[in-house]
Structure 1
């Protein structure tokens, strides 16, 4: 039976490695390898994740099946009062379509309530059709565009999606 548990500092190398594996498969036809490497270094360095684990406004979770981390999520409070953002939500490809994404979304909704928030947002690459459709099934709707210069000559070209549980 899968479990969603808080991430620990000992998990951060595994999360970094898992993110690389997932991103190389998921984004290979969407982003350049240079942008993938840039974004992985920018977001998944074990030391960075460890520093976020002590931040009261950030919740890292791991999805564990048979003592193996098969996915993860990260939620952050935004600057908008009452708003929580799913900043990261990834599951190994060989575990897709088994209800694990729904579990992580439901966990994010629990985090939302525990943080006294009332609005859940996320951004998703406009070409990540599988994820867009999954989020729509979970009750998210597209509310706008999010085009962000992330440095290094790279941009994120995403949809902003929201859910009000």
Structure 2
């Protein structure tokens, strides 16, 4: 199935992003972090006010991933340009849509974006214990460049790998 990538700008788009985040984070991350940390992170980073602030004041672009045929949302991404590289801050596919090749379509979209903007790399952070996502990123050509632990407040930290993929100019 073909996907479309729609830049999120409206209040309705932001509400849809927050709804998706709440659903996906509570389903996926419970195996990696506590429900208390999930709730904290959703409130701090993926609520309507947080997403609005990221778009309006922090330079993030949010992209809804939708089915082209029926316009239903299957996931979302958030990116920001930093030092001629694209930071992939968020990339989530809802459980019902995983394993269908959507990550490949999303990565192709991000690579096209890098080519259009003359960016040299895509980089991201991923929880060190998130083996399935790490495997997907490695399959897509990312490599681990370092580890980082970030204090996010509330007594919580993010214990991550930083991964990066070079965008080739063919």
User: What TM-score does the superposition give when structure 1 sets the normalisation length?
Assistant: 0.91
1:73 counterpart = 2:74 = no
Where structure 1 has 5 or more consecutive residues not aligned to the other structure, the ranges are none
Per-residue Cα deviation, 1:24-83 (whole angstroms, up to 9, x for no partner) = 1111121111110111111112133234334694221111122211100011122xx212
DSSP-derived class of the 2:119 partner:
coil
Contact 2:127 / 2:158 at 8 angstroms: preserved in 1? yes
Contact 1:75 / 1:108 at 8 angstroms: preserved in 2? no
Query: How far does residue 131 in structure 1 lie from its aligned partner after superposition?
Result: 0.6
Where does residue 22 of structure 2 map in the other structure? Answer: 20
Q: What are the equivalent positions in structure 2 for 1:56-135 lying under 5 Å apart?
A: 57-65=59-67, 66-78=70-82, 81-135=83-137
- After superposing the two structures, state which structure 1 stretch, 109-118 or 99-108, moved more: 109-118
Contact 1:77 / 1:83 at 8 angstroms: preserved in 2? yes
Contact 1:75 / 1:85 at 8 angstroms: preserved in 2? yes
Contact 1:86 / 1:121 at 8 angstroms: preserved in 2? yes
- The verdict on how the C-alpha distance between 1:158 and 1:56 changes in structure 2, with shifts beyond 3 A counting, is closer
User: What TM-score does the superposition give when structure 2 sets the normalisation length?
Assistant: 0.89
Q: Distance in 2 between matches of 1:56 and 1:30?
A: 27
Equivalent residues, number: 163
1:7 counterpart = 2:23 = no
Q: Distance in 2 between matches of 1:25 and 1:73?
A: 17
Where structure 2 has 5 or more consecutive residues not aligned to the other structure, the ranges are none
Q: Distance in 1 between matches of 2:113 and 2:25?
A: 25
